[in-house]
Amino acid sequence: MTEVRIPKPGDAITEAELTAIHVADGETVEEGDPLYTLATDKVEMDIEAPASGVVAWKVAVGGTYGVGELVAVIS
């Protein structure tokens, strides 16, 4: 099982909005595939899957989450 957490995109960034999910809950993802999109006041970025497996989301699109917060589990 691999935990997927909000990365720290910059020194001054403490939170980011999850603007898109590219793999539905319960679907399979391959390591390196786009998993979700984050937006801050300065940048928008796609986050890649850190592992291959089945995704279980713990958050929803449109929510704002702190750096390090658990967003999904890949098993």
Number of domains, the chain: 1
Q: 45 is in which domain, residue-wise? A: 2-74
**Is residue 11 over pLDDT 80?**
no
According to the model, what pLDDT value does residue 30 have?
A: 97
pTM above 0.85, yes or no: yes
**CATH of residue 19:** 2.40.50.100
Q: What is the pLDDT of residues 54-70, one digit of tens each?
A: 999 999 999 999 999 99
| Dihedral sign for Cα atoms in the order 13, 19, 24, 29 | negative
Q: What is the pLDDT of residues 12-50, one digit of tens each?
A: 789 999 999 999 999 999 999 999 999 988 889 999 999
CA–CA distance, 6 with 45 (Å, rounded to integer): 12
